[in-house]
Chains A and B, each alone.
Chain A
């Protein structure tokens, strides 16, 4: 069975490689979907959506492999708790640190020491880089939710490494 460290190494290399490959300069400055400042073009946005898309497919695949009993959730909140506990432990060997909701379809999942940000200096030094390290995981959450029957929009924000927040907004069909 593949060691957890392998995923981390692979993820870091994917961010570096896909980030470089998918950076094409476009006109203007915009605010990215991820709340970050996108510089001289849509380059970063493109690589973020590539990473997010990969995470989405992996999240779906992980979700598809869950046995039926695990999927017998009663409520939306149960599903979010599942993500915060079981999914997070499986992927990051720890649970999410906090889950908050407005009970109207928006959830904020906070991880105070997100493993994919841990290796970078804590604080504000790498704030601009952080979104690249969160995109895959946002997709992962969105993909697993999708298989569990929930359409969502997942974004992440970092105020100070290694703490980050994942915002899940349930999309009503």
Chain B
């Protein structure tokens, strides 16, 4: 009886650590492959983007959220639905710009950085930069061009992790020539 219960708990724990550990192995490998932190950051962003453009379909299929009418709704969906679904955390949405086109996601704890310490020679590395790419790619697929970047990072000694999201413009559907 108890052996069954142990088995279940162990599986769950391993499962939740798998992504974090795999991500860590990826960042380590990229640091070996690329000479400087900037290139690693770019690579993480690019890979995140590629993931985001596919993840959005999975998200829309599983979450049943309807179309967002404005950037505020989008922010809430990202924080309360998407982050919860994929990373099990609910960042808070704060620091709205007066024009309503920028906000911050505050992550009290970032699951990606469990067990992680940045070595001294990688001070410019944005360890979780994959997340910014994912946000950018996913939102592009729902017609929003945005910029996402880390402005605070617990790995660098900040108290919280903060991602700043900026709405750039709406992406109009491009109809092929000849169709109206």
Contacts and interface: CB of A to CB of B under 8 A. Distances in A.
Interface string A65-93: 11101100000000000000111011101
The main secondary structure of chain A at its interface with chain B is: helix
Given A18-B29, A86-B10, A62 B86 contact: no
- Identify whether the interface residues of B are mostly helix, strand, loop, or mixed: helix
Contacts of B87: 1-3, 6
B128 to A, nearest CB: 13
B154 interface: no
B29 A50 contact: yes
B18 A2 contact: yes
A86 B86 CA distance: 22
A14 interface: yes
B11 A6 contact: no
A10 B86 contact: no
Interface stretch (B50-58, B71-79, B169-177): B50-58
B142 interface: no
Interface stretch (A53-61, A148-156, A162-170): A53-61
Contact of B17 (A3, A17, A62, A70): A62
A21 interface: yes
A126 interface: no
Contacts of A4: 15
A1 B114 CA distance: 11
Contact of B11 (A10, A69, A86, A136): A86
Contacts of A87: 14
B6 interface: yes
Interface string B14-26: 1111111111011
Contact of A58 (B18, B58, B111): B18
A9 B55 contact: yes
A65 B47 contact: no
Contacts of B6: 69-70
A54 B51 contact: no
Interface of A: 1-7, 9-14, 16-18, 21-22, 50, 54-55, 57-58, 61-62, 65-67, 69-70, 85-87, 89-91, 93, 136
26 contacts: A1-B87, A1-B88, A2-B16, A2-B19, A2-B20, A2-B88, A2-B111, A3-B88, A9-B55, A10-B22, A10-B130, A11-B22, A14-B26, A17-B46, A22-B33, A54-B28, A55-B25, A57-B21, A58-B22, A65-B14, A66-B10, A67-B10, A85-B7, A90-B14, A91-B14, A93-B15
